[in-house]
Amino acid sequence: MASLLFYLLAATALLATLLCITRRSPVHAVIFLINAFFALALMFYLLGAPLIAAWEVIVYAGAIMVLFLFVIMTLELSPDSQRPALSRGQWAPALLLFLLLLVSAGLILTFDPASQASVPLFYASPRSFGAALFDRYGLAVEIVSFQLLFAAAGAYYLGRRRKAHQAEESS
Amino acid sequence: MIVPLNHILLVAAALFFMGLSCTLVRRNLVMILIGVEIMLNAAGLVLVAGSAFWQQLDGQLMVMLIMAVTAAEVAVALAMVVYLHGRTGTIDVNTFKDMQG
C-alpha cells in the first residue's frame, strides 16, 4: 500500500515538474512547482522524515515559492512571447545530459545489486532530529544562521540601491 | 517501506535532469531560478532516501541545511532579478550577455 502511494506521488511530482518547466507563464510554472513540492513532501514523509516534510511545505511551498510569486507580480512579467531558442548550441548539452541520465539509469537498474534492496522502515522523530542536529552540527547551524543574515542584508542592499537609482533618474 | 532504493534514485535523477534542462534551455531569469530549485529538491530526495536506507539521521540534517542555503540564495537572487528589471526593464538573460566582471 505504501509503495503504491509512493509511486503515485512520484508520478505526480514528475508530471507536475514536467508541466512546470514547459509553461510559458512563470506564474503557472510556480503553481505547478508548488504542486510538485507537495508530492515531494509526502514522499519525504513516507521515507521517515516528518520534520523535513513539514518544512518542505512551510519553507519551500509556503515561503520560497510565494516569494517567487511576489516578484513575478511585482514586476508584472508577461509570458515569454517567443519560444525558447532552438539553436543547436543550447540543446546539445541538454541532450548529452539526457543520454548520460539514461546510461546511468540503466547502470543503476541492471548492475548495482546493493541498490536493489528495499529501503527499510525508518522514522526520525523531531526529538531525535533536534538532538542530532545540535549535538553534531552545532557549528553548521551557526554558519547557516550567519549566512541567512548576510543574505537578508544583501537583499536589503540590492532593493534599496534600486530605489536610490530611480530617485536619481527622476530628479 | 517496500520501494527499492534504485527507484527513488531514478525519480530523483529524472527530477534533477528536468531542473537542469530548465536552467539550460529557458531564457527567463525566473525560470532559471525555478530550475535551480527543482535540482536542489532532487538532491534533497536522494539525501532523505539515503538517510532512510542506512538508518542514519545525517541525510535529513543535510536537507535542512540545504533548505536554509536555498532560502538565502533565493532571497539574494530575486533581489538581483528585481534590480536588473529596474535597470533594463526585462529579465531575458540574452540582454545581460554583454556584462563584464
pLDDT band at A167 (very low <50, low <70, confident <90, very high): low
Of the two residues A102 and B101, the one the predictor is more confident about is A102
Count Cβ–Cβ pairs < 8 Å, chain A vs chain B. Answer: 236
Q: Give the number of domains in chain B.
A: 1
- All cell numbers assigned to A78: 508577461
Residues of B in contact with A122 (CB under 8 A): 1, 51-52, 55
Is B53 an 8 Å CB contact of chain A? yes
DSSP secondary structure, B38-99, as one string: HHHHHHHHHHHHHHHHTT-SHHHHHHHHHHHHHHHHHHHHHHHHHHHHHHHS--BGGGGTT-
User: B5 and A117: CB-CB below 8 Å?
Assistant: yes
Q: What average pLDDT does the segment A100-129 reach?
A: 77
Is A28 an 8 Å CB contact of chain B? no
Whole-number average pLDDT of chain B: 87
Is A46 an 8 Å CB contact of chain B? yes
pLDDT band at B1 (very low <50, low <70, confident <90, very high): low
Q: What is the ipTM of this complex?
A: 0.89
Give the model's pLDDT for residue B98: 75
- A101-105 own/partner pairs: CB under 8 Å, 24+ apart: A101/B13, A101/B14, A101/B17, A104/B13, A105/B10, A105/B13
User: A47 and B8: CB-CB below 8 Å?
Assistant: yes
Residues of B in contact with A33 (CB under 8 A): 34, 37-38
Of the two residues A116 and A106, the one the predictor is more confident about is A106
* Domain CATH code at residue B81: 1.10.287.3510
pLDDT band at B5 (very low <50, low <70, confident <90, very high): confident
Is B55 an 8 Å CB contact of chain A? yes
Torsion of CA A134, A136, A142, A147, to 10 degrees: -120
Span B66-96, pLDDT tens digits: 999 999 999 999 998 888 888 887 777 877 7
Give the model's pLDDT for residue A166: 57
Of the two residues A115 and A29, the one the predictor is more confident about is A29
| B:2-41 residues touching chain A, CB 8 A cutoff | 2-11, 13-15, 17-22, 24-28, 30-31, 33-35, 37-38, 41
Of the two residues A118 and A16, the one the predictor is more confident about is A16
Answer whether residue B55 shows pLDDT above 90: no
Span A57-91, pLDDT tens digits: 999 999 999 999 999 888 877 666 555 555 666 67
Answer whether residue A164 shows pLDDT above 60: no
B14 domain-assigned: yes
Give the model's pLDDT for residue A171: 46
Is A147 an 8 Å CB contact of chain B? yes
Task: Tell me the residue length of chain B.
Answer: 101
Domain of B17 in residue numbering reads as 5-96
Buried residues in A82-119 as b, exposed as e (16+ CB within 10 A): eebeeeeeebeebeeeeeebeeebeebeeeeeebeeeb
Give dist(CA A123, CA A139) in Å, integer: 25
Give the model's pLDDT for residue A88: 66
B101 domain-assigned: no
Lowest-confidence segment of A57-61, A94-98, A117-121 by average pLDDT: A117-121
Give dist(CA A118, CA B52) in Å, integer: 10
pLDDT band at A99 (very low <50, low <70, confident <90, very high): confident
pLDDT band at B40 (very low <50, low <70, confident <90, very high): very high
Among A36-40, A162-166, B20-24, name the most confident range. Answer: A36-40
